[in-house]
Each structure stands twice: as structure tokens, then as C-alpha cells.
Amino acid sequence: MAEQNIMAEAVKYVSRGSVATRKGFGDALLEIGRQDPDVVALCADLTGSLQMHHFQKEFPSRFFQVGIAEANMISIAAGLATTGKKPFAGTFAAFASGRVYDQIRQSICYSRLNVRICASHAGLTLGEDGATHQMLEDIGLMRGLPGMTVVVPADYSETKRAVKALHKHEGPAYLRFGRPSVPDFTLDDDGFEIGKSIELNSGKDVTVIACGIMVWQALEAARILEKEGVTVRVINMHTIKPVDKLAIVRAANDTGAIVTAEEHQVHNGLGDAVAHVCAETIPVPIEMVGVEDVFGESGKPDELMSKYNLAIEDILEKIYLALRRKE
């Protein structure tokens, strides 16, 4: 009976089709815009790419198109926040973090202003635009800023819930999402609380802690291993900062081995955050799936995910290694 229950949980999350997470951002932005007249939106010449055109059309007086001037956009967003407005400033992740780091640090974080930085087209799955635009360091950059909240939702539906949660959030926030269509599988019943992860699958042998599009990959890996008699706890760590320390400690204590998975450099991202918690509390074997200290290149998203070892088989390989180390 226990095995049947585990299998039932494993198939609880199924894809309802593929939708881009950036569409979830655009749809939710329009919804909260209708609910709250203090919501304003800013974009740096990428309105259609970030799906902000619906907000722009319905609320033209609350939308600010700044052109290719990302630093100016962040400064304007900070100014609007000082007047009580709730700005959502959107552009590609490469520009939303790296190009404007100084403005984010000085104008937003130092003053603890309520600006939501909305970073689309993150990670390798940006694809053909290549290494210069495939931002793989942004989680680390944002994690290091005092007072910054970092959120990386898993799919279209969770991106919508994340935007609505950030609408009510106080303080600086960085929301990371992507370009391609990906499986939409999370449930509204899961809810969304900043700083509180979601256990998607129970397991006692090993834990996979993932964020963003890697959450679906982790579930697929868990389904494969359950056929081999290995039960995998899968945790959707949608908030990288503040990270859910309690969930990590429980996972380490219950399963004795952890694998992290992220579409980001392994340095200074989710993996480092999890390892930090375990080092302070309950050290266990930890393996990390992520980009290994290299830049990306131009190519199709699926091919890049395989080349840079972010595919399902790479998660499986790291799970097997973690299990061996545990023994």
C-alpha cells in the first residue's frame, strides 16, 4: 500500500501542455494591474518578448517604455517606488542583472525599495542568441545583494502565482523566467509562499532540490527511478533567497543525500545555497547539476541542455553518484 501511495504521488504532476513562463509573467501582470492602480510597468525595448504588451495596451499611462536604456529603467523604477507606486521593471536577464548591477545595488537594495526586477530569457534555453545573452550568473549576482529576494518559478502557472505573491511583497525582488515553451504542470493547490518550498514527490532514498525548468526534469528522473525501486523526494525550491532552510534540513536528515538542479552556473546558485545550509546543520553528500564554469553557445535549447549536462540523464547520473557516496 505504501508503494502504491508513492507511485500515486509520482504521477500527480503531469504536463497540461507547453507554455512559456514569460507568458505567465505577462498574464499575471495584467491581472494585478486591473486590481491595483499603483502597479506600474517599465520595459527596455522588449515589450513583446516579455509579454508586457497586454498591460501596455490596457494601461498606457502606467507603462513606461524607456528604450535600450536599462540603467535608466532601474533608476526610474526606484524613483516611482519612492512615491508609493509598485513598479515591475522587465528586460532580458542578461541586462536585468549584469548590465544594471550598480543601479540595483545603489538605488534599489541600499534603500530597500519595492521594485520587482523581472528577468526574462534566462539560462541556456534562450538558445540561438548565444553566450552573450544566455545569463547563467544572475542568481549568484542577486543572491549576494543585501535584502534582495530571488524567485525562480518552474512553469507558466507558478510564474503567475509568483508575480501575484511579489505584488504583495515588501522589498527588492528578482524574478527569473524564460523564453521557450516548457511543460505546465504545477497546481494552483500548491499555492505560492515566498521562502517556502514545495515538496512535489515523497521519497526516502535521495532528495532532488530543483528550481525553474529543472523541476520538471527532476520529476521525470524520479519517475524513472521509482520503477527501479528508488524513491526520490523532489523539492521545488522556487525561492533561492530566502532559501527554505527547514525543508533542506529535513531532506538531509530523512534521505541522507541531496542532488541540486538549476539552469545556472553551479557556483553561487541554488547548489551553493543548499550546500551552505547543510554545512551549517547536517552535512550529507551533495551533487550538483548545473553549468560547470563555462559560457554557453548558440544552439537549440534541448541540444544545449544535453551538451551542458542539464538533461534528465544527467540528473540520474548525479543521483546514482549521491547514492553511492551515501553508502
Write the CA distances from 127 to 46, 204, 274, 309, integer angstroms: 17, 36, 28, 15
3-state helix, strand, coil in the chain (%, to 5): 45, 20, 35
User: If you ran DSSP here, which 8-state letter would residue 196 be given?
Assistant: B
- Cell 497546481 belongs to 187
Instruction: Based on DSSP, count helices (H) and strands (E) in the chain, helices before strands.
Output: 13, 14
Tell me where in the chain the CATH 3.40.50.920 domain(s) lie: 2-15+187-326
Tell me the three state secondary structure of residue 133.
coil
Quote the CA–CA distance of 283 and 212 in Å, as a whole number.
25
pLDDT of residue 12: 81
Please report the sign of the dihedral spanned by the C-alpha atoms of residue 98, residue 102, residue 104, residue 109. positive
pLDDT tens, 288-304?
A: 999 999 999 999 999 99
231, pLDDT greater than 50:
yes
Q: How many CB atoms lie within 10 A of CB 246?
A: 13
Catalytic residue among 9, 70, 220, 226: 70
- Residue 3's pLDDT band, with cuts at 50, 70 and 90, is very low
Q: Which of 298, 253, 308 lies closest to 131, judged by CA?
A: 298
9, pLDDT greater than 70:
no
228 tagged catalytic: no
- Would you identify the CATH topology of the domain 18-183? Rossmann fold (3.40.50)
How much is the average pLDDT of 34-53?
97
40 sits in the region (left: phi over 0; alpha: psi -120 to 50; else beta) called beta
Here the cell at position 162 is 509568483
pLDDT of residue 8: 46
- What pTM was estimated for this model as a whole? 0.95
Tell me where in the chain the CATH 3.40.50.970 domain(s) lie: 18-183
Domain 2-15+187-326 has CATH 3.30.70.100: no
pLDDT of residue 5: 45
